[in-house]
Copies of this chain bind each other. A is one copy, B any other.
Protein backbone atom coordinates (compact mmCIF):
# COMPACT_ATOMS: atom_id res chain seq x y z
CA UNK A 1 0.00 0.00 0.00
CA UNK A 2 1.08 3.54 -0.70
CA UNK A 3 1.88 5.69 2.33
CA UNK A 4 2.12 9.44 1.99
CA UNK A 5 2.40 11.97 4.80
CA UNK A 6 1.73 15.68 4.81
CA UNK A 7 4.85 17.81 4.96
CA UNK A 8 5.22 21.58 4.91
CA UNK A 9 7.72 23.77 3.07
CA UNK A 10 10.03 25.41 5.60
CA UNK A 11 12.69 27.08 3.52
CA UNK A 12 14.24 26.97 0.07
CA UNK A 13 17.94 27.19 -0.74
CA UNK A 14 19.22 27.96 -4.23
CA UNK A 15 22.81 28.13 -5.37
CA UNK A 16 25.76 26.42 -6.92
CA UNK A 17 28.01 23.54 -5.93
CA UNK A 18 31.80 23.53 -5.99
CA UNK A 19 33.69 22.88 -9.18
CA UNK A 20 35.57 19.62 -8.58
CA UNK A 21 33.46 18.61 -5.60
CA UNK A 22 31.74 15.26 -5.06
CA UNK A 23 28.14 15.89 -6.13
CA UNK A 24 26.45 13.66 -3.57
CA UNK A 25 28.75 14.68 -0.73
CA UNK A 26 28.29 18.40 -1.41
CA UNK A 27 24.50 18.14 -1.20
CA UNK A 28 24.70 15.95 1.89
CA UNK A 29 27.05 18.45 3.57
CA UNK A 30 24.65 21.32 2.89
CA UNK A 31 21.76 19.35 4.40
CA UNK A 32 23.78 18.58 7.51
CA UNK A 33 25.03 22.16 7.86
CA UNK A 34 21.53 23.62 7.45
CA UNK A 35 19.93 20.85 9.52
CA UNK A 36 17.67 19.75 6.69
CA UNK A 37 16.22 16.44 7.85
CA UNK A 38 13.41 16.25 5.33
CA UNK A 39 13.26 17.76 1.88
CA UNK A 40 13.66 17.65 -1.84
CA UNK A 41 16.57 18.41 -4.14
CA UNK A 42 16.75 19.33 -7.81
CA UNK A 43 19.55 20.47 -10.05
CA UNK A 44 21.11 20.79 -13.46
CA UNK A 45 24.64 21.40 -14.72
CA UNK A 46 27.52 19.25 -15.83
CA UNK A 47 29.86 16.65 -14.37
CA UNK A 48 33.47 15.76 -15.10
CA UNK A 49 32.69 12.10 -14.56
CA UNK A 50 29.77 10.14 -13.18
CA UNK A 51 29.36 7.07 -11.01
CA UNK A 52 25.93 5.51 -11.22
CA UNK A 53 24.20 2.77 -9.30
CA UNK A 54 21.72 0.27 -10.65
CA UNK A 55 19.87 -1.87 -8.14
CA UNK A 56 19.77 -5.49 -9.20
CA UNK A 57 16.28 -6.47 -8.05
CA UNK A 58 17.17 -10.17 -8.11
CA UNK A 59 20.52 -10.30 -6.33
CA UNK A 60 19.47 -7.29 -4.19
CA UNK A 61 22.77 -5.55 -4.69
CA UNK A 62 23.70 -2.25 -6.25
CA UNK A 63 25.93 -2.55 -9.30
CA UNK A 64 28.06 0.51 -10.01
CA UNK A 65 29.11 1.97 -13.31
CA UNK A 66 31.59 4.76 -14.00
CA UNK A 67 31.19 7.02 -17.02
CA UNK A 68 34.58 8.67 -17.12
CA UNK A 69 33.88 11.63 -19.37
CA UNK A 70 32.26 15.07 -19.23
CA UNK A 71 28.47 14.92 -19.31
CA UNK A 72 25.60 17.38 -18.98
CA UNK A 73 23.33 16.87 -15.97
CA UNK A 74 19.92 17.04 -17.61
CA UNK A 75 18.30 16.39 -14.27
CA UNK A 76 19.28 15.72 -10.70
CA UNK A 77 16.40 14.82 -8.44
CA UNK A 78 16.48 13.69 -4.86
CA UNK A 79 15.02 13.69 -1.42
CA UNK A 80 16.36 14.15 2.08
CA UNK A 81 15.42 11.98 5.03
CA UNK A 82 17.07 10.29 7.99
CA UNK A 83 19.33 7.24 7.90
CA UNK A 84 21.28 6.09 10.94
CA UNK A 85 20.27 9.29 12.73
CA UNK A 86 21.66 11.75 10.16
CA UNK A 87 20.32 13.60 7.10
CA UNK A 88 20.67 11.31 4.11
CA UNK A 89 20.32 12.29 0.46
CA UNK A 90 18.85 9.82 -2.01
CA UNK A 91 19.23 11.11 -5.54
CA UNK A 92 18.93 9.90 -9.12
CA UNK A 93 20.57 11.60 -12.04
CA UNK A 94 20.04 11.87 -15.79
CA UNK A 95 23.01 12.82 -17.95
CA UNK A 96 23.78 13.37 -21.63
CA UNK A 97 26.88 13.20 -23.80
CA UNK A 98 28.01 15.25 -26.79
CA UNK A 99 25.93 13.15 -29.18
CA UNK A 100 22.83 13.91 -27.09
CA UNK A 101 22.51 10.34 -25.77
CA UNK A 102 21.12 10.10 -22.27
CA UNK A 103 22.33 8.02 -19.34
CA UNK A 104 21.12 7.71 -15.80
CA UNK A 105 20.96 5.94 -12.50
CA UNK A 106 21.23 6.18 -8.76
CA UNK A 107 23.69 8.98 -7.92
CA UNK A 108 26.71 7.36 -6.28
CA UNK A 109 29.72 8.98 -4.58
CA UNK A 110 32.62 9.91 -6.87
CA UNK A 111 30.49 11.83 -9.34
CA UNK A 112 32.54 14.98 -9.87
CA UNK A 113 30.91 18.40 -10.33
CA UNK A 114 31.94 20.59 -13.25
CA UNK A 115 29.15 23.08 -12.50
CA UNK A 116 25.85 22.44 -10.74
CA UNK A 117 22.96 24.78 -9.96
CA UNK A 118 20.61 23.36 -7.42
CA UNK A 119 17.57 24.00 -5.30
CA UNK A 120 17.05 22.32 -1.95
CA UNK A 121 13.66 22.68 -0.28
CA UNK A 122 13.50 21.84 3.42
CA UNK A 123 10.25 20.42 4.77
CA UNK A 124 8.81 20.28 8.26
CA UNK A 125 6.95 17.05 8.87
CA UNK A 126 7.01 13.66 10.52
CA UNK A 127 10.29 11.76 10.75
CA UNK A 128 11.09 9.88 7.57
CA UNK A 129 13.59 7.27 8.66
CA UNK A 130 15.18 4.72 6.36
CA UNK A 131 15.13 1.14 7.63
CA UNK A 132 15.81 -2.15 5.94
CA UNK A 133 12.79 -3.22 3.89
CA UNK A 134 12.34 -7.00 3.68
CA UNK A 135 10.42 -6.94 0.40
CA UNK A 136 12.98 -5.04 -1.66
CA UNK A 137 16.21 -5.32 0.31
CA UNK A 138 16.45 -1.50 0.22
CA UNK A 139 16.62 1.07 3.02
CA UNK A 140 13.11 2.47 2.58
CA UNK A 141 11.04 4.84 4.70
CA UNK A 142 9.53 3.14 7.73
CA UNK A 143 6.24 5.02 7.57
CA UNK A 144 2.71 3.70 7.87
CA UNK A 145 -0.74 5.06 8.62
Contact = CB atoms under 8 A, between A and B. Distances in A.
A98 B56 contact: yes
Nearest to A116: B2
A15 B2 contact: yes
Interface of A, secondary structure class, is strand
Interface in A19-72: 19, 21, 26, 29-30, 34, 38, 40, 42, 44, 46, 48, 52-58, 63, 65, 67, 70, 72
How large, as a class, is the contact surface on chain A?
35 or more
Nearest to A38: B14
A33 to B, nearest CB: 9
B136 A117 contact: no
Given A75-B94, A102-B94, A1 B18 contact: yes
B114 A93 contact: no
A63 B137 CA distance: 34
